[in-house]
Amino acid sequence: MDRYVCQICGYIYDPEQGDPENGVEPGTPFEKLPDDWLCPICGAPKDDFEKE
């Protein structure tokens, strides 16, 4: 599973970790994140992420 980097703040979405604080289970691939998921650091939408 690919890791994705926020182009605004540099946060890395790691599918192995997920984003449990915002209800995303570990093991969730980036593509399966809900459309309204936002970068947990800076609030950027998924569009602002690029594959690492």
CB 21 → other proteins: shortest distance, Å? 10
Q: How far is the CB of 35 from other proteins (least distance, A)?
A: 18
41 near other proteins (CB under 8 A): yes
CA dist., res. 13 & res. 40, Å (int): 9
Rounded distance between C-alpha atoms, residue 24 and residue 27, angstroms: 9
Query: Residue 27 or residue 35: which is nearer to other proteins going by CB?
Result: 35
Nearest to 23 by CA among 40, 8, 43, 10: 40
Binding site for other proteins (CB under 8 A): 8-9, 41-44
